[in-house]
Amino acid sequence: MNQRFDGKIVAITGGSEGIGLATAKAFVAEGARVYITGRRQDRLDAALATLGERAVGVQGDVANAADLDRLYDRIREDHGRLDVLFANAGTADSEALPLDDITAHDFERIFGVNVRGLLFTVQKALPLLGAGSAVVLNGSVAGSKGFPGQSLYNATKAAVRSFARSWTADLKDRGIRVNVVAPGGTETQLMRGYLDTRPGAEDMFNQLVPMGRLGRTEEVADAVLFIASSQGSYIAGAELVVDGGLSAI
């Protein structure tokens, strides 16, 4: 087993399920000590049961600054440093939200997690990040597509892509790399719930994807680990797309 992260300290927001949990498992398997967050304690406990003794859970919401402080205070107390941050936590609407129907509450809810929450997830981690550390932001192909009824979500992921460019410039003198992983449709609980309630939606989606299927969470995790590892040491400000060719063709 490759041990690219032996002795490394990793934090993953939204690590109790989906892409976050798959990535936490991959980091643990490669020797890392992993701290995960999740809003629901029951899901966090279930995730920790699968991750084992090399994982620590800190319940919290990235939209809450105090919850982020608790995460980083715990890491500071335990290790005094952070080697990899995967800012993964995000939210989306399971139903279409056309422009006519968007409310101020919708805006605050989605931007509050996907943009404001992500920004302060990274900012508050900076005192723990040193030269050679890596930040990976979870974006989406939605940031460069115009999916109908998803303009708020699309815009937040475009902001994530922009953050990676700007923060690469901001942090280059500190030796901190920032990149984005951009999944397409991925087999998560949220995606499965969406497809299962819409007859024919999965077949239609698969026809749009050159590889003919949804992505697996483990495939996104592999991309995160690559770009965070020494193998990605000359990659900065980039967007690594993991979408089966959907956005390319």
Instruction: Single out the catalytic residue among 35, 72, 153, 194.
Output: 153
Decide: 90 and 153 in contact? Cβ < 8 Å: no
Q: CA 17 to CA 64: how far, in whole Å?
A: 19
> What is the DSSP code (8-state) at residue 6?
T
Quote the crossing angle between the two packed helices 118-125 and 151-171, to the nearest 10°: 20
Residue 92 φ then ψ, to 5°: -155, 160
Angle at 246 between CA 178 and CA 119, to 5 degrees: 25
Strand partners, 240: 181
| 72 is annotated as an active-site residue | no
Which residues lie below 8 Å from residue 64, measured CB to CB, with a gap of 6+? Answer: none
Strand partners, 84: 10, 134
* Residue positions annotated with a catalytic role: 153
